[in-house]
Amino acid sequence: MAEVYAASDRRLHREVAVKLLLPAMAVKPDVRRRFEAEARAAASFTHPNAVAVYDSGDHDGAAFIVMERLPGETLADRLRAGPADPEWVRRLAHDVLGALSAAHAAGIVHRDVKPGNILLTADGSAKIADFGIATSIDADPTSASHLIGTPAYLAPERLDGAPASPRSDLYSLGVVLYEALAGAKPFAGDVPLAVAQSIQEGTHRPLAEVRPEVDAGLAGVVERAMSRDPDARFPSAAAMAAALAVRTDGDDTRVLPVAPVRERRPRWVVLAAVAAIVGAIVLAALIAYDRTRAPARIEPPVATTVVTSPPTSPPVTTPVTTAPRRGAHDKPGKGRGGEGND
């Protein structure tokens, strides 16, 4: 569908990756629409564990997407060395679930979660990439039900023609985690049709038998994510991440110190809440201002009757003695500091 080039952003001085639609694909309207939809889907949300999209456009008829460049390897590259450490797989799953939770909250289903689309960074974290076949959760079921994706990681209901959903993404991640822990895919086959038949039958060797040393909590999460019945899977990516934080070794059960994956509310809910808070603050300010501007209320005088008793003795007149005024030629006395006493 496209080629990806390593490039340098001369304006912002950063290394980027440029995905360029192949000329043979650019002439196909449906492929071009899908390519443009990838840019919109990836740009509709941001998350530290999702590859960022910086720009998209068209140059002389060639459609392109400018993305974050990660100079590491993919999970598919790492799995060629064999089964991975269970604790490392647990951390990787938590990173991917965080990005999927953000995508699902934005109304986007990835539809192609697989090892080749999980990139490993230099700091040990994981990022999910390639939303090229992502679709809106509210999309027309007839358009979303096309068999698009990698057969070995497709959920059984997708093979039956059902539309993609967040739970089908979780199923695909469950298959990825199984492969990372077991060192092999749970459903094998020489051709896609054989793989699809194996998936629909749901016949695979339990992870607890393949790697008994994997703790029961982690193995249980993987098996539940791979349930044939969508309702038996986790209801959300956040719920699956919470289950991953519980480790069970025999009779010992403890919760690992892993940052929780929070359910992100749709943007309109957040905006409505912010608008309500701002409106309440403005209303309170207006009421307070109106009270300071209002004139003070003057209460009418209250008539009172004062009853006095007549004096029992005649009033006493006290004589008042006044000093004579000093004449103009009288000399004033001296006070402290040499000033007159007048």
The set of catalytic residues is 112
Report the alpha-carbon distance of residue 282 to residue 141 in Å, rounded.
Answer: 44
> Are the CB atoms for 100 and 173 separated by under 8 Å?
yes
Report the alpha-carbon distance of residue 324 to residue 282 in Å, rounded.
Answer: 71
Report the alpha-carbon distance of residue 309 to residue 57 in Å, rounded.
Answer: 102
Q: What is the dihedral of CA 217, 220, 226, 230, to 10 degrees?
A: -100
Please name the residue that has the structure tokens 């993404």. 169
Report the alpha-carbon distance of residue 223 to residue 339 in Å, rounded.
Answer: 105
Residue 111: which of 125, 100, 123 has the closest Cα? 100
Report the alpha-carbon distance of residue 11 to residue 56 in Å, rounded.
Answer: 16
